[in-house]
C-alpha cells in the first residue's frame, strides 16, 4: 500500500523535509530557469533590434548553445519567435499581439495616439510619440505624413538620448547632477557627427528645452531630417513621453513657428485629457 509522505508520520520527517526544501530552493537559485533564459533570448533580440543566429544569441547571453537551441525551437513552435529563411531568429507575431493588447489597456497610449493622428493631419508631416527606455529614446507610436519624405526611425526604434530632440526632453525634468551623470554614461557620436556629446552642454540644453516645453534638432541623427518635440508631463511634472513632428530640415528653417505652436498644443492637450495639467 502506498502512503503519502505529506500525511504519513511513518515516512515523513519534518527536519528531513525542511532540509530537502532548502536544498531545492538553493538549487533553483543557483541555476537560471527556463523562463529566465527565454526572456534573455527575447531581450537580446529586442535590444539589438535585428535577427540573430542561435550561436550569436548563446554567446551574447552566456548560455550553453544546446540550451539556447531547445529554447528557440520551443519559442518558434509557440510563435513567440520566428525563424527566417537564412536560419536567423527574430521576434514572433505572438509578441506583437501581446504588445497591441497591452497598448490598448493603457489610457495614455490611447489618448496620445489619437492626438498624434490629429497633429499629423494638422501639420501635414510625420508625427511620433516617444518614451524613454533606459539610456535610449524609444519610438512608441507613429503616424506617417502624406508626403513621400521617408523617416528612418519607425516604431520600436531605440536611439541614444543625446541624438534627438525628444531624448533631451525625456530627461529634462531630472536634477542637473543626474542629467550630467546620465549623459556622461550614454552620450554617443551620431551617424552625422553633429549630435552633441559633452555631458554638461547636453544637460544645460535638456533643462532649457524642458523649461521652454520645446526641443528642436536638425540633422543630428539623420542627414536632412529635423525634429520638433514637446514634453508630455504627468501630474508631478515629470516628462513621461514626448510628441514630435519629424520633417525635412528646410521646412523647419522656413516656417518654424507654424510647427512649434502645433506640437506644443498637442502635448498640452494630451496632458489635459489625462488630467495632468495641474503642475
pLDDT on residue 18: 45
Say if residue 76's pLDDT is above 70: yes
Positions of CATH 1.10.10.10 in the chain: 14-94
The gap from C-alpha 179 to its chain's centroid, in whole angstroms, comes to 19
How large is the average pLDDT for residues 9-34?
49
Calculate what percentage of the chain has a pLDDT beyond 70: 84
Across 17-44, average pLDDT: 67
Q: What is the pLDDT of residues 253-275, one digit of tens each?
A: 666 678 899 999 999 999 998 88
Burial class (CB in 10 A: 0-12, 13-18, 19+), 39: middle
Higher pLDDT, 130 or 11: 130
- What does pTM read for this prediction? 0.66
Q: Identify the residue with better confidence: 241 or 147.
A: 241
3-state DSSP call for residue 189? coil
Q: Is the per-residue pLDDT at 13 higher than 50?
A: no
Q: 106-274: which CATH architecture?
A: 2-Layer Sandwich (3.30)
Give whole-number Cα distances, 178 to 3, 197, 200, 232, 239, in Å: 62, 16, 11, 20, 15
Q: Report angle CA 254, 260, 266 to the nearest 5 degrees.
A: 145
Kindly report, residue by residue over 118-163, the tens digit of the pLDDT. Answer: 999 998 899 999 999 999 999 999 998 887 676 767 888 899 999 9
Question: What average pLDDT does this structure show over 11-34?
Answer: 50
112 — pLDDT class (breaks 50, 70, 90): very high
Residue 191 pLDDT greater than 90, yes or no = no
CATH 1.10.10.10 fits 14-94, yes or no: yes
CATH 3.30.450.40, the chain: domain bounds? 106-274
Amino acid at each position: 500500500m502506498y502512503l503519502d509522505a505529506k500525511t504519513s508520520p511513518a515516512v515523513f520527517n519534518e527536519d528531513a523535509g525542511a532540509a530537502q526544501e532548502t536544498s531545492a530552493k538553493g538549487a533553483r537559485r543557483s541555476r537560471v530557469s527556463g523562463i529566465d533564459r527565454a526572456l534573455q533570448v527575447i531581450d537580446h533580440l529586442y535590444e539589438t533590434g535585428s535577427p540573430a543566429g542561435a550561436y550569436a544569441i548563446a554567446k551574447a547571453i552566456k548560455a550553453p548553445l544546446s540550451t539556447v537551441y531547445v529554447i528557440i525551437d520551443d519559442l518558434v513552435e509557440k510563435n513567440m519567435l520566428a525563424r527566417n529563411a537564412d536560419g536567423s531568429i527574430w521576434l514572433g507575431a505572438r509578441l506583437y499581439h501581446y504588445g497591441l493588447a497591452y497598448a490598448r489597456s493603457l489610457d495614455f497610449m490611447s489618448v496620445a495616439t489619437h492626438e498624434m493622428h490629429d497633429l499629423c493631419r494638422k501639420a501635414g508631416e510625420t508625427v511620433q510619440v516617444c518614451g524613454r527606455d533606459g539610456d535610449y529614446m524609444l519610438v512608441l507610436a507613429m503616424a506617417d505624413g502624406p508626403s513621400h519624405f521617408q523617416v528612418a526611425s519607425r516604431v520600436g526604434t531605440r536611439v541614444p538620448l543625446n541624438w534627438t530632440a525628444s531624448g533631451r526632453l525625456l530627461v529634462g525634468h531630472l536634477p542637473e547632477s543626474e542629467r550630467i551623470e546620465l549623459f556622461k554614461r550614454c552620450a554617443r557620436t551620431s551617424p552625422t557627427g553633429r549630435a552633441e556629446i559633452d555631458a554638461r552642454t547636453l544637460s544645460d540644453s535638456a533643462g532649457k528645452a524642458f523649461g521652454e516645453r520645446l526641443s528642436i534638432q536638425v540633422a543630428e541623427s539623420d542627414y536632412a531630417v529635423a525634429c520638433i518635440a514637446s514634453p508630455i508631463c504627468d501630474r508631478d511634472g515629470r516628462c513621461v513621453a514626448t510628441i514630435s513632428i519629424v520633417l525635412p530640415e528646410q521646412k523647419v528653417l522656413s516656417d518654424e513657428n507654424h510647427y512649434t505652436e502645433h506640437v506644443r498644443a498637442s502635448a498640452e492637450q494630451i496632458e489635459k485629457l489625462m488630467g495632468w495639467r495641474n503642475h
